[in-house]
């Protein structure tokens, strides 16, 4: 396989509690699908990395999402609700039915540790999707060890091993390493996509934008000097 036919590596910094990260995930999946659909063995390899938008969030936050947003951003509750309504509409446009009435806001560091455990078992992508769905669509409590173990079991992970890893914080250092790398890259918001180690794309861009960047990287890999007529 030539270098140009190797899958394009995409590193994604994301937070389980970030609504734009789930939206961006769907848009990136659509964009990478457009890219891969062009043939010639085009492919993408994805790796997720931890980023905490609000690391000071308590595990047992009391109040709904509008309460948290109003406090966190220092805005009136009515304005916070308008922001949630807006993001709910955008999420619906990519097939995600956000349920803020039942969402349980919590600290996400344990969820990130669970994703790293899943990565060690070859199931990082599945766990990331499961946790985002559990948080935004199902009102599951992703700050709880037992709930995370149950969610892991749903995708085929050993719940006892996951429980032990979470209770001993076996993967906390890996979470912190991701966060430090984000600092070094200058990432201060998510989702953030690093494509082929050299192109940074910030935010939940449209599918076509992602497809264009991937195509640009692909063409650069396969480019050869053109012959110049004497």
Q: Tell me the CATH number at 161.
A: 3.40.30.10
Q: What is the pLDDT of residues 154-197, one digit of tens each?
A: 999 999 999 999 999 999 999 999 999 999 999 999 999 999 99
Is this model's pTM higher than 0.85 or not?
Answer: yes
Of 178, 27, 174, the closest CA to residue 113 belongs to 174
Could you give the number of structural domains in the chain?
Answer: 1
Q: Is residue 20 part of a domain?
A: yes
Q: Is residue 227 part of a domain?
A: no
Q: Is residue 229 part of a domain?
A: no
Q: Is residue 171 part of a domain?
A: yes
Burial class (CB in 10 A: 0-12, 13-18, 19+), 99: middle
94 — phi, psi (to 5°)? Answer: -115, 20
Indicate the range of 60-64, 134-138, 159-163 predicted with least confidence: 60-64
């Amino acid at each position: 396989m030539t270098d140009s036919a190797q899958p394009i590596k995409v590193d994604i910094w994301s937070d389980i509690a970030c609504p734009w990260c789930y939206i961006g995930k769907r848009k990136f999946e659509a964009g990478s699908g457009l890219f891969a659909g062009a043939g010639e063995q085009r492919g993408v390899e994805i790796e997720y990395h931890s980023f905490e938008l609000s690391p000071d969030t308590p595990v047992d936050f009391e109040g709904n999402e509008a309460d948290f947003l109003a406090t966190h951003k220092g805005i009136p509750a009515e304005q916070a609700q308008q922001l949630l309504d807006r993001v709910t509409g955008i999420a619906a446009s990519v097939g995600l039915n956000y349920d803020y009435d039942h969402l349980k806001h919590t600290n996400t560091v344990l969820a990130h540790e669970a994703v790293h455990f899943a990565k060690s078992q070859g199931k990082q992508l599945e766990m990331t999707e499961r946790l985002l769905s559990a948080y935004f669509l199902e009102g599951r409590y992703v700050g709880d060890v037992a709930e995370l173990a149950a969610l892991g079991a749903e995708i085929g992970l050993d719940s006892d091993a996951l429980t032990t890893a979470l209770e001993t914080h076996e993967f906390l250092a890996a979470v912190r390493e991701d966060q430090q790398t984000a600092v070094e890259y200058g990432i201060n918001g998510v989702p953030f996509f690093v494509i082929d180690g050299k192109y940074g794309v910030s935010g939940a861009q449209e599918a076509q934008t992602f497809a264009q960047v991937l195509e640009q990287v692909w063409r650069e890999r396969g480019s050869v000097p053109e012959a110049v007529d004497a």
